[in-house]
Amino acid sequence: MEVSTFIWMFVVLKIPIIAALWLIWYAVREPEPLPEEGPGGGGSDREPDPRPRGPRPPRRGPHAGPPPAPPRRVRTASGRRLVREP
């Protein structure tokens, strides 16, 4: 019983630790350099637009419904209160 426990603790339980160390090594290693492309690499020499585009406005037209109605205005009571006499 004791020998199997020692084998379990010192051999089998080290496999996940070794796998975790290998995963960390694989994540932090230097990436391999990409091969340099010569002229005519297929990319554009134009610089990208520096201004980000805003969100598109909602579509209105024959395929969309009418715009939603604005919310109703709520008026608050101001001035004198009306008191009804019984």
User: Residues 45-76: pLDDT tens digits?
Assistant: 677 777 777 888 776 667 767 777 888 887 76
User: Domain range for residue 7?
Assistant: 1-29
Looking at the domain assignment, is residue 77 inside a domain? Answer: no
Mean pLDDT of all residues in 16-34: 89
- Give me the number of domains the chain comprises: 1
Q: Which of 23-32, 43-52, 75-84 has the highest mean pLDDT?
A: 23-32
Quote the CA–CA distance of 23 and 16 in Å, as a whole number: 10
Looking at the domain assignment, is residue 41 inside a domain? Answer: no
Mean pLDDT of all residues in 21-41: 79
